Each structure stands twice: as C-alpha cells, then as structure tokens.
Chain A
Amino acid sequence: MRLLNYLKFNKPTSANIAKERLQIIISHERSRRNNTELLALMQQELLEVIAKYLNMNTSAISEQVKVELERRGDSSVLELNITLPDEELALTNS
C-alpha cells in the first residue's frame, strides 16, 4: 500500500509532513524549556558566588546581576551583567 502510494505520488503524505513539523517545533520548545531551567539554576549559583565575595545583601544582588541567553545566528551567547555597588568594593574575606 505504502509502496503503491510512493510509486503513484512520490511525495510525502500529510502524516509525514505532520511528523516532521512536530519534531522540529517540539525539539525547539524542549530546548527552550531546558534552557530556562538551566539559566535559573545558573543565575542562582552565580548570585551565591558573588554574594560570597562582594558585600551586597542577597535581595539587592538579584537586581544587580542579570543573566541572559541570546541566539545569534548559529551560536548562543550567554550574557552576564553585574552592576557593582558605588561604594568601595568591600571584600568580605578581609
């Protein structure tokens, strides 16, 4: 049956098209899902590290540290922006 269809029409069936479209969109959505989870974890750990060395309270720190993932063409760019406090950078482990 499939062979007959193949010989007769020689083009993908609508089910083939559906499968291909689903595979593309779902893998895209899954990777975005995983990225946001990973980013949240990474952001949390980065905050902990920064809080360890800079004298900032943790509530202020979450506003001063921004982690963002951007897609540029074929590659992804991870951007980390840390706004240091105006005062002298009091190192806590003095």
Chain B
Amino acid sequence: MARIIVVTSGKGGVGKTTTSAAIGTGLALRGFKTVIIDFDVGLRNLDLIMGCERRVVFDFVNLINDEAKLQQALIRDKRVENLYILPASQTRDKDALTEEGVARVLDELAKDFEYIICDSPAGIERGALMALYFADEAIIVTNPEVSSVRDSDRILGILASKSKRAEENLPPIKQHLLLTRYSPTRVSRGEMLSLADVEDILSVPLLGVIPESQAVLKASNSGVPVIMDSESDAGQAYGDAVARLLGEEHPFRFINLQKNGLLKRIFGSKSKEELPV
C-alpha cells in the first residue's frame, strides 16, 4: 500500500519544496520506491531543486488530461535508485487539477510506488487543497516566526475538515511538525520562538528540526537535495526526520547551543549580539 504524504505549510518560502526533495530522496535512499509530485501548477520549482529541470517533457497536468502516459511524464533520478519526480505544468493554472484527475493519477502511482510525496504550493487555494486532499500523512513545515505558525494552524484546520479522510470519516491524517530555519543562538537570546513554544502552540508531534544552514542554499544552487550533503547539519537533520518518519527513534540534534561556547557566552563580549530585540 502506498503512503501518500503531503508537505504543506500555508505560508510560502518556509521550505516545502526543499523538504519534499529531501524527505523523498531520503526515503528512496532507504530503499523505498518513491515519487515526488509538484502540485505548484504554474510555478514549478521541484525540478530545479532536484536538478532535473532540463529533462522535463510531460507533466502532471498532461497526465490528468490523458495527454501522456505515466512512463513518459515520470523523471527518474540519475543519482538515487527508486526515486522519481513528477513535475508540475508551467503553463497551466491550478484549475487544471481536477479531483477526479488527481485521484486517477494517484491511484495509478499507488500501484507501483511505496511513498508518494505531494509538494504543496503555498496558500489555501485549489493547488494546496488538492495536494492535501488524498493524504494519509502530512508534514507541516513551519518557521519559528509568527506568520508561519499562524498559517500552519490554519492548515491543520483544513487537514481536519477538508481532506478526503475528514469528509469520509476515516481515521484522520497523521500530522508531523517540521520546524525549519531554526537558530539555537537566537532562541537562547530570546529573539526567536523556541521549539517548545511552537510545539506548545500547535500541539503536533515533532518530526524534525532543521537548523538555519548555509547548506540549503548551496544544495539548491547545484540542484542536489540537501539530504545528500551528509556532512552538513541540515542534511543530517533531514536524515533524522526520515528515520523518525519510518518509526525509528532518534534524539533531536542541532537544537541546543554548542556547549564549548558557554563560557564565552557568559563572559564574552557585551556587544550588540547580547541585546534581545
């Protein structure tokens, strides 16, 4: 049975596509046959993040309109076995995503794949609603910042009322919180909502914490999912998140300040860095 996982957030720019690419690649690296679908019709970007933008011929909307076969539209990743990408259309608008069409494509994919990752567009309109409608699980990507947390709560409400599982009174979508762009330094200065604060407000089980990291931009520059940079903090944090998604228990990393910095922090400079904003 394929598991359909939506990566969603409400707010834009918080790391949905980065997360979809990383989690999908991570699952494939673990040996699961995985497809990542870009639901952002009109503004496709998953292809760039995955580094396959020059191999797009057919897309998701072509499949929905029966203009192409699944094998023609799926792009096989050249680095990771078992990993496929289904790009969004760049020319159509989100109304092209019909409920019947999306259901048909997902059904067909479910025969062949173990994990289907739906990369949701920002907002709460058609594209976002279609991305989450058929989901079994949801990864809610949130930045420790007021507007992102509020929008995440809005999405939680939509998952609980407008998804297929909600409408048909099936067991609810399993929710996971993924906190991205986390900076322990700023949290310790009282400049950023802490992990505990966000968990407290949203009360969704935590899947992972991705630290603010230079590795993320580096990875997107070169079209390599950041999880493949296993030296980097963000890559390792995504690796932990994939392990937790598969039911393994891992302690959370990159959430505390380095211990060796303690004396420095107490006796160090009383510069502008110490002032809470």
A residues neighboring B (CB under 8 Å) = 1-2, 4-5, 9, 13-16, 18-19, 21-23, 25-26, 29-30, 33, 37
Smallest CB gap from B192: residue in A: A15
Q: Which 5 A-B pairs have the closest CB atoms?
A: A13-B190, A13-B276, A19-B197, A15-B190, A14-B277
Q: Are B157 and A14 in contact (CB under 8 A)?
A: no
Q: Are B265 and A15 in contact (CB under 8 A)?
A: no
Interface string of B143-155 (1 = CB under 8 A from A): 0011001100110
If A1-B266, A15-B194, A16-B190 are given as contacts, then 14 extra A-B residue pairs at C-beta distance below 8 Å, sorted by A number, are A1-B265, A5-B189, A5-B276, A14-B276, A15-B187, A19-B197, A19-B200, A22-B150, A26-B149, A29-B150, A29-B154, A30-B153, A33-B157, A37-B161
Interface string of B134-170 (1 = CB under 8 A from A): 0000000000011001100110010001000000000
Interface range, B side? 20 to 34
A11 CB → nearest B CB, Å: 9
User: What are the residues of chain B within 8 A of A14 when measuring CB–CB?
Assistant: 190-191, 276-277
CA distance A23 to B197 in the complex (A): 10
List 13 A–B pairs whose Cβ atoms lie within 8 Å, in order of A's numbering. A5-B276, A9-B276, A13-B190, A13-B191, A14-B190, A15-B190, A15-B193, A15-B194, A18-B193, A19-B200, A21-B146, A22-B146, A22-B201
User: What are the residues of chain A within 8 A of B277 when measuring CB–CB?
Assistant: 14
CA distance A5 to B187 in the complex (A): 13
Q: Are A19 and B190 in contact (CB under 8 A)?
A: no
Interface string of B235-277 (1 = CB under 8 A from A): 0000000000000000000000000000001100000000011
User: What are the residues of chain B within 8 A of A13 when measuring CB–CB?
Assistant: 189-191, 276
A15 CB → nearest B CB, Å: 5
Within 8 A of A (CB), among B173-203: 187-194, 197, 200-201
CA distance A4 to B105 in the complex (A): 58
A19 CB → nearest B CB, Å: 5
Q: Which of A13, A16, A37 has the most CB of B within 10 A?
A: A13
Known: A5-B190, A14-B190. A19 touches B201 (CB 8 A): yes
Known: A14-B277, A19-B201. A1 touches B153 (CB 8 A): no
User: What are the residues of chain A within 8 A of B265 when measuring CB–CB?
Assistant: 1
User: What are the residues of chain A within 8 A of B191 when measuring CB–CB?
Assistant: 13-15
User: What are the residues of chain B within 8 A of A19 when measuring CB–CB?
Assistant: 193, 197, 200-201
Smallest CB gap from A33: residue in B: B157
User: What are the residues of chain B within 8 A of A22 when measuring CB–CB?
Assistant: 146, 149-150, 193, 201
Smallest CB gap from B145: residue in A: A18
User: What are the residues of chain B within 8 A of A37 when measuring CB–CB?
Assistant: 161
User: What are the residues of chain A within 8 A of B161 when measuring CB–CB?
Assistant: 33, 37
User: What are the residues of chain B within 8 A of A1 when measuring CB–CB?
Assistant: 188-189, 265-266
CA distance A26 to B153 in the complex (A): 7
Q: Are B190 and A2 in contact (CB under 8 A)?
A: yes
A8 CB → nearest B CB, Å: 9
User: What are the residues of chain A within 8 A of B276 when measuring CB–CB?
Assistant: 5, 9, 13-14
User: What are the residues of chain A within 8 A of B190 when measuring CB–CB?
Assistant: 2, 5, 13-16
User: What are the residues of chain B within 8 A of A23 when measuring CB–CB?
Assistant: 201
CA distance A2 to B192 in the complex (A): 13
B190 CB → nearest A CB, Å: 3
